[in-house]
Amino acid sequence: MAAVDDLQFEEFGDAATSAANPGTTTIHIEGPSESPTHQPGLPRGSGGEEDDELLGNDDSDKTELLAGQKKSSPFWTFEYYQTFFDVDTYQVFDRIKGSLLPIPGKNFVRLYIRSNPDLYGPFWICATLVFAIAISGNLSNFLIHLGEKTYHYVPEFRKVSIAATIIYAYAWLVPLALWGFLMWRNSKVMNIVSYSFLEIVCVYGYSLFIYIPTAVLWIIPQKAVRWILVMIALGISGSVLAMTFWPAVREDNRRIALATIGTIVLLHTLLSVGCLAYFFDAPEMDHLPTATVAPNQTVATAK
Amino acid sequence: MAKAAESSGDPGTTSPRPLMRDLKAVGKKFMHVLYPRKSNTLLRDWDLWGPLILCVTLALMLQRSSIDSEKDGGPQFAEVFVIVWFGAVTITLNSKLLGGNISFFQSLCVLGYCILPLTVAMLVCRLVLLAEPGPINFMVRLFVVVVMFAWSIVASTAFLADSQPPNRKALAIYPVFLFYFVISWMILTFTPQ
């Protein structure tokens, strides 16, 4: 057992310390599409089954091995949390690209996350989104009300905290509720595909990325443009979410499956429309967006 | 700070030398930020006095008169303080979680000291705002803030980039960019009463 453990540990030890040693590269051995019964969220103890698989040369089992070993540190150590940041730059970019280009039939979790969910993406995408919405909203209001006599520019700093609360609550509580719901359905109906909590958080986090350029483009003070942007963003991120979660509920009762997907898309819609309504003032139809407005005009602000 | 600790072990001394030594150390680090080269001074002898001075200065200058600070919507003193320190701590944690080999306080020290260019930008902006308002006024302020923002990024990257493994450098640098961008935005949108 000791010799086999040394072999095991040495291989994984390289992967763990390579992050601390610059210059070494971490080689992730990704197998072909994993078997659907694999549940990546469960931590594995060092069981005898892993010894058997070690002697074999099965790549996908090695991935399972590493995935199981990764989460074995106790949760009060720093190393435990480091496992959620075990991503390289190109991986983060790939995941962002995957969230922007939903391919029908390809599952975001299977294709990109592959049992290596990270918290870097969701956290920093949400942070960027918070500031993007707050700053763009502020800029947009400034540009809309530019010529008005009664308008005094305020930075509206309070809105940052409100945006932060909304975005982070959405990015954590909705996945929590969804995970709880899927676990409950799993106990009743045997689903082939199930996701761990972190994978759901990861999907939601990356699916919010499309809203960052959308928020910046919302500065344009045209109602039609804004609503078209809402549609596009909702279409892309909604389809990423729908295609990810459809396999998880497909085995279930038809109506429950459709209701689940419908609720996911509905909540996503509420988030984007709510942010647009709250942070961005309505543009006036007859308001000229130039600084040289005739001073005789009194424009009624639709507040 | 290590030097101050060993000389303050003797409670009888009231000599100003430890204070001068600390001030000199802080001043030396200011110089290192203004002319960033690849040197280890900031990392080796870290201290948090410099960041504290800079943060307090920035927060004081960003504060408005309390009369209509409620309606004004700008950041309060405490808010600036919290953003700077909370942001620096978050970036440091992020850097360590990604596997960087820099210590917690060293990273805080670097991030705090590299706010110096933006504090200078704030000073310049306040001076420029004494002149008449208008688009030229805004352009000057915009230019100054953008230049200082770039300076802060370059300075902090020069010190922090080496501590990350090469395949994760961008992941560690991006939060620094976001941090200084938010501070620059607060400086740029400062409107006095």
Residue A116 structure tokens: 């290596």
User: Tokens 């972190």 appear where?
Assistant: A198
Would A51 be classed as within a structural domain? no
- Residue in B73, B167, B178 nearest the CB of A25: B167
Q: Which residues of A touch B181 (CB under 8 A)?
A: 131
CB contact under 8 A, A155 and B175: no
Three-state DSSP class for residue A205: helix
Neighbours of A106 (CB within 10 A): 14
Please state which of the ranges A220-224, B46-50, B141-145, B177-181 shows the lowest mean pLDDT.
Answer: B46-50
- ipTM metric: 0.82
Would A187 be classed as within a structural domain? yes
Three-state DSSP class for residue A15: helix
> DSSP secondary-structure letter at A113?
I
CB contact under 8 A, A157 and B73: yes
Dist. CA A275–CA A263, nearest whole Å: 18
Q: Tally C-beta pairs within 8 A across A and B.
A: 80
Residue B157 structure tokens: 């990257």
Residue B131 structure tokens: 């002149």
Q: Chain B closest CA to A251's CA: distance in Å?
A: 38
If one counts the domains in chain A, the total is 1
Residue A231 structure tokens: 């549609």
- Residue in A127, A131, A154 nearest the CB of B72: A154
Per-position pLDDT tens, chain A of length 303: 444 445 545 444 444 444 444 555 555 454 444 444 444 444 444 444 444 434 444 444 544 455 444 456 787 888 888 888 888 888 888 888 888 888 887 777 777 777 788 889 999 999 999 999 999 998 888 888 877 777 777 777 788 888 899 999 999 999 999 999 888 888 887 777 778 888 899 999 999 999 999 999 999 888 899 999 999 999 999 988 888 888 888 877 888 888 889 999 999 999 999 999 888 888 775 444 454 444 454 555 444
Q: Chain B closest CA to A6's CA: distance in Å?
A: 24
> DSSP secondary-structure letter at A41?
T
Which value, to the nearest 10 degrees, does the dihedral of the CA atoms of residues A103, A107, A109, A110 take?
-120
The domain segmentation of chain B, as residue ranges, is 45-61+75-189
CB contact under 8 A, B164 and A22: yes
Integer-rounded Cα Rg, in Å, for chain A is 24
* pLDDT of the residue at A27: 59
Question: Greatest CA span in chain B, whole angstroms?
Answer: 59
Q: Chain B closest CA to A56's CA: distance in Å?
A: 31
* pLDDT of the residue at B141: 92
Q: Which residues of A touch B165 (CB under 8 A)?
A: 18-24
| DSSP E strand boundaries for A17-172 | none
Q: Chain A closest CA to B167's CA: distance in Å?
A: 6
Dist. CA A98–CA A30, nearest whole Å: 18
State the alpha helices, DSSP H only, in B129-168.
135-160
pLDDT at residue B90 is higher than 90? yes
- By residue range, what is the domain housing residue A120? 85-280
Q: Chain A closest CA to B92's CA: distance in Å?
A: 13
- Residue in B97, B165, B174 nearest the CB of A22: B165
- Chain B residues 145-184 with CB within 8 Å of chain A: 164-171, 174-175, 178, 181-182
Of residues A6 and B155, the one with the higher pLDDT is B155
CB contact under 8 A, A155 and B75: yes
Would A254 be classed as within a structural domain? yes
Q: Which residues of A touch B71 (CB under 8 A)?
A: 154
Dist. CA B45–CA B184, nearest whole Å: 28
* pLDDT of the residue at B162: 79
Q: Are B139 and B178 contacting, i.e. CB atoms less than 8 angstroms apart?
A: no
- Would you call B69 an interface residue with chain A, using a CB distance cutoff of 8 Å? no
Would A215 be classed as within a structural domain? yes
CB contact under 8 A, A82 and B174: no
Dist. CA A145–CA A149, nearest whole Å: 9
Burial class (CB in 10 A: 0-12, 13-18, 19+), A102: buried
Q: Which residues of B touch A78 (CB under 8 A)?
A: 96-97
Give the sign of the dihedral formed by CA B115, CA B151, CA A130, CA B58: positive
Dist. CA B31–CA B54, nearest whole Å: 14
Residue A20 structure tokens: 């601390």
* pLDDT of the residue at B71: 55
